């Protein structure tokens, strides 16, 4: 029996969830029990009466750092609540950048435990002691890990069986084959003097497939030479 995919997020803002994950494709699937979302409030692991989770950086400097003695027990509690083979990921600009290949890999597993940082980040000792992998969603800095966690979850959930309405569309979309996707058109047939390319109205499926493939290659070559190189080097 296949297990249900689960995401558990560790955050000081549990009210940010489900957020956008409660709507549209992911939200519908969540409502139907096709995946499970839970949150643990990191503040519940605070030990003082103010429920503080951060402190000033050792060595000085700006900002605050999430304490190891609070982050680590929160990670432990998350791990105890999830299947033992669930990966633990700290969303962090320092991590390896998330790719569709990794998303597919994560979607095929039991789920994810996601640690959302705030402030300047998390005390390194907690990450080392709990052997937490770091994953980035891109080369820019967010104010917290929650949006990044939602990006990762959304990308995974849409690949789960029975979630996307049309699973055939997943095979063709950007990155699935290493290429970016071809352009889309729909009615009206002419709009502001712009026509839908003739070939798409020809009814010739072979010709259409060939055109789409050529477009995908052209778009990838021009827009993302790095992807194109990777593809042609294989």
Residue 141 touches ligand SAH, criterion: CB under 6 A: yes
User: Closer to ligand SAH at the Cβ: 2 or 143?
Assistant: 143
- 156-195 residues near ligand SAH, rule: CB under 6 A: none
Residue 136 binds ligand SAH, judged by CB under 6 A? yes
Binding status of residue 89 toward ligand SAH by CB under 6 A: no
On whether the CB atoms of residues 76 and 130 are closer than 8 A, the answer is yes
Q: How far is the CB of 141 from ligand SAH (least distance, A)?
A: 5
For ligand SAH, which is the closer residue by CB, 125 or 207? 125
> Of 76, 149, 68, which Cα lies nearest the Cα of 106?
149
138 vs 223 by CB, closer to ligand SAH: 138
What token pair was written down for 56? 């000033």
Cis check: omega of the bond before 188, within 30 degrees of 0: yes
Decide whether 16 or 137 has the Cβ nearer to ligand SAH: 137
What span, in angstroms and rounded, lies between the C-alpha atoms of 138 and 119?
18
Check residue 220 for interaction with ligand SAH (CB under 6 A): no
CA distance 234 to 229: 9
Nearest to 217 by CA among 170, 176, 178: 178
How near is the Cβ of 84 to ligand SAH at its closest, in Å? 24
């Amino acid at each position: 029996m296949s297990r249900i995919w689960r995401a558990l997020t560790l955050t000081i803002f549990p009210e940010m969830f489900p957020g956008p994950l409660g709507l549209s494709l992911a939200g519908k699937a969540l409502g139907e029990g096709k995946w499970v979302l839970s949150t643990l409030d990191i503040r519940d692991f605070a030990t003082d009466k103010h429920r503080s989770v951060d402190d000033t950086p050792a060595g000085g400097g700006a900002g605050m750092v999430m304490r190891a003695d609070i982050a680590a027990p929160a990670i432990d509690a998350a791990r105890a609540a999830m299947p033992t083979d669930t990966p633990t990921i700290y969303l962090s600009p320092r991590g390896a950048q998330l790719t569709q290949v990794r998303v597919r890999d994560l979607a095929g597993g039991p789920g994810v435990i996601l640690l959302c940082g705030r402030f300047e980040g998390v005390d390194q000792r907690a990450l080392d002691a709990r052997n937490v992998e770091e994953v980035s969603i891109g080369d820019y800095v967010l104010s917290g890990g929650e949006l990044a966690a939602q990006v990762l979850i959304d990308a995974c959930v849409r690949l789960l069986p029975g979630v996307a309405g049309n699973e055939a569309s997943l095979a063709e979309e950007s990155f699935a084959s290493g290429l970016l996707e071809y352009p889309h058109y729909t009615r009206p047939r002419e709009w502001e003097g712009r026509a839908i390319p003739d070939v798409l109205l020809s009814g010739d499926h072979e010709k259409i497939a060939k055109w789409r493939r050529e477009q995908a290659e052209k778009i990838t070559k021009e827009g993302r030479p790095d992807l194109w190189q990777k593809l042609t080097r294989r």
